[in-house]
Amino acid sequence: MKRVLNIVPVPVPPEALDAFAAQLSGDFVHPAFENVFVSARNGGGSLDSAYETTLADAFVLDAGCRAEEQGYVGVCVNSMSDSALAALRSRLSIPVVAPSQATMLLACLLGKKFSVVTMWPQWHELYHKAARENGITSRLASVRDIGVRPDAAELLAGKEDFVFAALEREAKAAVAEDGADVIILGSTTMHQSHAHLSTVLDVPVLNPGVVAYKMCEMLVQTGLSHSKQAYPSPERPQDDLLAAVASVFPSKES
């Protein structure tokens, strides 16, 4: 069995990891693959700022830096923050994939312009940053939000009726007013809305956690991984230092 490590960049309880894992079920996963979900040992809670995303980079790197020696065949960062993506590619030789980059590049294959529909305005910079870093700002039609604070533990549970309707409204506006011909969900915490939006929109709707995982799976199956010319390995890995920093304070979920 080929195991893929999926890292949630904020500390969450086990039942929340189960909710994240639920998006990768049934036909989405090749029978030769198994997904393992873990969360960062510490750090931020909502990735609402550069401060929290910097913490997430450190703790995601801690969670994934030993993945290769632990027998994993690939790593997925389960967040549109793409936390520690470059650092993990530097540390590891196995494929490392993250949702913002994966979904935006796939959107460029499927249409001419894409929009991101997300939960709240504090996340807008995540998507603009990813578009800049991947040289595709001209393909980003818009970022729209519904003004609802995200919950990494409960996801959309209990808020489906209101949230689904609000996301549908903003997604339709992105198509009609902003020129989007592909819609990207702005968070892996929003995956429960994907089925609904896919039925009410006449453009492709990309579910970021699934897209990132399938990209990772494809890379493993084809024997491809990131270029070490682009992401050179460190001369002196200091994984123990990361572990020591991560364990200075108890986990928020311990």
The Cα–Cα gap between 25 and 19 comes to 11
pLDDT > 80? residue 60: yes
Work out the average pLDDT over 119-134: 97
Q: Parse the chain into domains and list their residue ranges.
A: 2-99+210-246, 100-207
Confidence at 111, pLDDT banded by 50, 70, 90: very high
Per-residue pLDDT reduced to its tens digit, 25-40: 778 899 999 999 999 9
Per-residue pLDDT reduced to its tens digit, 220-229: 999 999 999 9
Assess whether the region 2-99+210-246 and the region 100-207 belong to the same CATH fold: yes
Average pLDDT, the chain: 92
pTM of the full predicted structure?
Answer: 0.92
Contacts of 95 (CB under 8 A, 6+ apart): 73, 74, 75, 216, 219, 220, 224, 225, 226
Q: In the chain, what percentage of residues exceed pLDDT 90?
A: 78
Confidence at 83, pLDDT banded by 50, 70, 90: very high
Per-residue pLDDT reduced to its tens digit, 143-174: 999 998 876 544 455 556 788 999 999 999 99
Confidence at 52, pLDDT banded by 50, 70, 90: very high
Confidence at 191, pLDDT banded by 50, 70, 90: confident
Reply yes or no on domain 2-99+210-246 having CATH 3.40.50.12500.
Answer: yes
Reply yes or no on domain 100-207 having CATH 3.40.50.12500.
Answer: yes
Least confident of 157-171, 190-204, 237-251: 237-251
Contacts of 190 (CB under 8 A, 6+ apart): 118, 119, 155, 156, 167
pLDDT > 50? residue 193: yes
DSSP the chain: -EEEEEEESS---HHHHHHHHTTS-GGGS-TTEEEEEEE-SSS-SS--SHHHHHHHHHHHHHHHTTTTTTT-SEEEE-STT-TTHHHHHHH-SS-EE-HHHHHHHHHHHH-S-EEEEES-GGGHHHHHHHHHHTT-GGGEEEEEE------TTTTTTT-HHHHHHHHHHHHHHHHHHH--SEEEES-GGGGGGHHHHHHH-SS-EE-HHHHHHHHHHHHHHHT----TTTSPPPSS--HHHHHHHHTSS--TT-
